[in-house]
Amino acid sequence: MGKVEDVSVDIKERRISGLAVRNINPNAFDVGNKRGVIIPYRWVIAIGDIILIKHVKKGRRERGENKEGREAEEKK
- The predicted-structure confidence for 11-20, as pLDDT tens digits, reads as follows 999 999 999 9
Higher confidence at residue 42 or residue 65? 42
Q: What is the mean pLDDT of the chain?
A: 76
Give the integer Cα–Cα distance in Å for 54 and 46.
10
| Amino acid in position 43 | W
Count of domains forming the chain = 1
Residue 37: inside a domain, yes or no? yes
Residue 28: inside a domain, yes or no? yes
HSE, CB side, 13 Å, CA atoms: give it for residue 46. Answer: 4
Task: Give the range of the structural domain holding residue 20, as residue numbers without chain letter.
Answer: 3-53
- Mean pLDDT for 47-60 is 73
Residue 48: inside a domain, yes or no? yes
What pLDDT is recorded for position 3? 86
Residue 32: inside a domain, yes or no? yes
Three-class SS of residue 41? helix
